[in-house]
């Protein structure tokens, strides 16, 4: 049997017997993304639904000055709560999302036909309070417009006099593209699956073997070290490929549990998406296998390698972070950069778009070229005397 295949098969078989590796590569890595995603999205949507449609409880100060206003707000779904003594502190400390205050001067101003002021007290920095605040403001504006129209009619004027401008919104987003912004985290989950899928194997096959002192007898065999390295890399790639495939399947299954109708969005997680995403991720399988092995080759122990690779796991977040912080317009050259290409490509596929064959080819060629360069460096490190000697 070919030495490379011998090493590959031995590493695959040995690691399939290791509970930790199998769990992390074939269960944890592929499932964490989809499960987290479904749970997050459902919780988020549930919250928004509650805020958008349920009765809105708002503490009201000075309700006695504006009984008509309160009655109108009640009709729109607002439930007035007893007043609070310190509304400013209440919104800061999240005891209330929003507080409505009607000053004593309201009644006089109203009866004189002057603009009557009401105060909406809220803290814009509180996440999640925003929808309640805008609902209250919308209710108030609705009441204001209604009353304004009535006043104009009472004076014999056409209500349109008071509306010189009408803004009409034309949102160009499609259900897919709206889902796409929500799904922006999905590319990262794919990358993570590839990374974690091979990680424990990479640690075990280099740092682990070194720690267990089995590299020395292994290297005493009449097989060139680069062949041994290639067999090991093959085993790592096999595991991370399996992890990637399982992730794709898990996302297709997960899409059944996404609250698509509630969001009014379509999730394009079909076969075409899965095939495209896996194709784009292929070079990363090779890049991470080599990179993880290279890092492990510098570690003296399993734990040390684990620490390094744990830190390195932050790198795949960068493109996602970059794209969300700086709204960069995707360009073709970005496909040449490993990770970045995957990020924009998968995001595009999710939005229901298609990635040009040329872009995919660019991502594949550049990704594999990068892996090859790393591979040469790793082979060079693998030749060092120090690598085999643990004690």
Token reading at 237: 């790639």
Nearer to another protein by C-beta: 212 or 262? 212
Taking the complex as a whole, how short is the minimal distance between the CB of residue 221 and another protein, in angstroms? 4
Q: Which residues bind another protein (CB under 8 A)?
A: 1, 3, 6-7, 10, 13-15, 17-18, 209, 212-224, 385, 388-391
User: What is the b/e burial string over 311-341, where b = at least 16 CB atoms within 10 angstroms of the residue's CB?
Assistant: eeeeebeebbeebeeeeeebeeebbbbbbbb
Taking the complex as a whole, how short is the minimal distance between the CB of residue 389 and another protein, in angstroms? 7
Contact 150, 68 (CB under 8 A): no
For 104, list phi and psi in degrees, rounded to 5: -65, -25
Find the helix packing angle between 130-154 and 29-53, rounded to 10°: 30
Which strands, in side-by-side order, build the sheet including 78-81?
78-81, 56-61, 98-101, 119-122
Nearer to another protein by C-beta: 107 or 225? 225
Nearer to another protein by C-beta: 104 or 391? 391
Taking the complex as a whole, how short is the minimal distance between the CB of residue 308 and another protein, in angstroms? 23
Nearer to another protein by C-beta: 217 or 327? 217
Helix, strand, or coil (residue 39): helix
Taking the complex as a whole, how short is the minimal distance between the CB of residue 10 and another protein, in angstroms? 5
Nearer to another protein by C-beta: 131 or 301? 301
Nearer to another protein by C-beta: 56 or 388? 388
Gap between the Cα atoms of 351 and 369, Å rounded: 29
Q: For tokens 């194997």, what's the residue?
A: 201
């Amino acid at each position: 049997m070919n030495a490379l295949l011998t090493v590959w098969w031995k590493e695959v078989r040995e690691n399939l017997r290791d509970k930790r590796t199998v769990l992390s590569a074939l269960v944890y890595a592929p499932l964490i993304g989809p499960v987290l995603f479904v749970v997050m999205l459902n919780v988020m949507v549930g919250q928004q639904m509650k805020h958008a449609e349920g009765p809105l409880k708002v503490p009201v100060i000075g309700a006695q000055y504006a009984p008509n206003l309160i009655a109108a707000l009640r009709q729109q779904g607002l439930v007035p709560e007893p007043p609070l003594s310190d509304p400013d502190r209440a919104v800061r400390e999240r005891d209330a999302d929003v507080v409505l205050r009607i000053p004593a001067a309201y009644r006089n101003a109203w009866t004189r036909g002057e603009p009557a002021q009401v105060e909406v007290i809220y803290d814009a920095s509180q996440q999640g309070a925003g929808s309640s605040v805008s609902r209250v403001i919308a209710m108030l504006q609705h009441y204001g417009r209604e009353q304004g129209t009535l006043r104009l009619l009472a004076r014999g004027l056409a209500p349109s006099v008071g509306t010189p401008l009408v803004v009409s919104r034309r949102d160009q987003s499609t259900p897919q593209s709206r889902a796409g912004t929500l799904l922006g985290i999905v590319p990262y989950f794919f990358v993570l699956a590839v990374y974690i899928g091979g990680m424990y194997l990479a640690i075990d096959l280099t740092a682990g073997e070194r720690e267990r002192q089995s590299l020395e007898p292994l290297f005493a065999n009449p097989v060139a070290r680069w062949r041994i390295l290639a067999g090991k890399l093959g085993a790592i790639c096999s595991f991370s490929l399996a992890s990637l495939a399982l992730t794709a399947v898990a996302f297709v299954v997960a899409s059944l549990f996404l609250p698509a109708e509630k969001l009014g969005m379509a999730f394009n997680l079909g076969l075409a998406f899965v095939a495209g995403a896996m194709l784009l991720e292929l070079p990363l399988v090779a890049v991470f296998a080599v990179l993880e092995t290279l890092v492990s080759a510098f570690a003296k122990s399993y734990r040390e390698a684990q620490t390094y690779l744990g830190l390195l796991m932050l790198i795949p977040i960068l493109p996602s972070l970059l794209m969300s912080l700086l709204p960069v317009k995707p360009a073709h050259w970005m496909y040449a950069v490993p990770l970045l290409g995957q990020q924009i490509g998968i995001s595009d596929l999710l939005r229901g778009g298609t990635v040009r064959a040329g872009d995919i080819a660019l991502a594949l060629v550049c990704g594999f070229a990068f892996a090859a360069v790393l591979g040469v460096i790793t082979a060079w490190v693998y030749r060092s005397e120090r690598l085999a000697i643990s004690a």
